[in-house]
Structure 1
Amino acid sequence: MKILKTFTVLAVAGLFFASCGEAKKNTEEVVETEVAEASEEMAMSEVQETPTIVGVAAGNENFSTLVAAVKAADLVDALNGEGPLTVFAPTNAAFAKLPEGTVATLLMPENKSTLAGILTYHVVAGKFEAAAVIDAINSNEGKFTVDTLNGGQITLSLNDGNVILTDANGGTSTVVIADVAASNGVIHAIDSVVMPK
């Protein structure tokens, strides 16, 4: 009888430990699954957290005039597209350098196509970060010409280490902030609006 009780106790203990081991194993599997799912969600949210070119500009008060112009020219979808694009983005101060009343006139619905032409003159297909731009300038005897989305060209050069844009009319602008990352390209802030012919 004593042997039977001992055997029963051992059997119950064995079942208890076996079930504990199984529960621990199940718990570990659940935790591993939850960690994997959380990591996947974080990776997805990181991808979603990087805004597009328009999103980056909209999130920076120094580009409020540019954002208003992009909306007025109906270019939001184009600049939110897959890309990649490189945008030489005039700051509010750059737009303020234009003759008085120019921005207000350009924002009028009847000037939508003119405004779109000016804005697309600031956009280049492809992603060109500052290092690549400087390499291209140095590899081409100090000047590198890029084709813009409006069909015109801008000449890039260096002056005291700064990238200078020269437009079709001989006007110049300086890159003041380089390599602002966006999910569909890169933005370089410039201090003057460049103009197509």
Structure 2
Amino acid sequence: MPKLNKLKAVSLCAIAATTGVALAGATPGMAYDHHKEAAAASQPTIVEAAMGTGMHETLVAAVKAAGLVETLSSEGPFTIFAPTDAAFAKLPDGTVATLVKPENKATLTSILTYHAVAGEVTSADLVALIERNGGSATIDTIAGGKLTARLAGDTIAITDAAGRTSTVTKADVDVSNGVIHVTDGVFLPG
């Protein structure tokens, strides 16, 4: 998946350069921590964690249909905004069934990578970024699109390019190759 790795590197540089967010693993000269590596090795990957929740079956099926299991099981790190099955159910009837067809793999991949950010961005990173930028922050996705994060009370709300707003219902699910933020909506790139 060299194209995805190139996008990941470009996205990581764009986030770091435009937002000033320090992403885990992005700082040269960072001290090597054997304890952190051992703890990470005992944690599930993004895909394994999603498979074990019981509320991300649609997301896992979509990741498999798009051929992204290997990528999202790789070292990363990635930040994934993971829509629940209930979030996918809010889409118009037949949308998911159409997207997982082999002929729609490119569209499905684009939508799924629109939910992914290169690097590990915790909820504290997002809140700091939102506050530093006057109440909203733009996040570059691996797909090359942008998401806008804002605070809605003490909840992080994410608006996609289509103008749909979803909230993070569970933040900072730590996995071996990044972090997952569970969302109540599916992001659409436009």
TM over 0.5: yes
- 8 Å CA contact 2:166–2:186 kept in 1: the answer is yes
Structure 2 CA distance, aligned partners of 1:97 and 1:44?
38
Structure 2 CA distance, aligned partners of 1:46 and 1:142?
34
Structure 2 CA distance, aligned partners of 1:143 and 1:128?
15
**Structure-2 change in CA distance of 1:93 and 1:45 (3 Å):** same
Matched, 1:145 2:138: yes
**Greater fraction helix:** 1
Summarize the alignment of residues 13-28 of structure 1 with structure 2, pairs less than 5 Å apart.
none
User: Taking CA–CA contacts closer than 8 Å with sequence separation of 6 or more, which of the two structures ends up with the larger relative contact order?
Assistant: 2
- 8 Å CA contact 2:40–2:175 kept in 1: the answer is no
Structure 2 CA distance, aligned partners of 1:45 and 1:104?
39
3-state SS of 2:76 partner = coil
Aligned match for 1:60, one of 53, 61, 66: 53
**Structure-2 change in CA distance of 1:44 and 1:166 (3 Å):** closer
Aligned match for 1:173, one of 160, 163, 166: 166
Between Structure 1 and Structure 2, how many residues are aligned?
155
The two structures have a TM-score, normalised by structure 2, of 0.79
* Aligned equivalent of 1:70: 63
Structure 2 CA distance, aligned partners of 1:172 and 1:52?
27
Structure 2 CA distance, aligned partners of 1:45 and 1:194?
33
Structure 1 CA distance, aligned partners of 2:91 and 2:154?
26
Structure 2 CA distance, aligned partners of 1:82 and 1:64?
22
RMSD of aligned residue pairs (Cα, Å)? 1.5
**Structure-2 change in CA distance of 1:44 and 1:148 (3 Å):** closer
The one-letter amino acid paired with 2:171 is: A
In structure 2, runs of 5+ residues without a counterpart are 1-35
Aligned match for 2:181, one of 169, 179, 188: 188
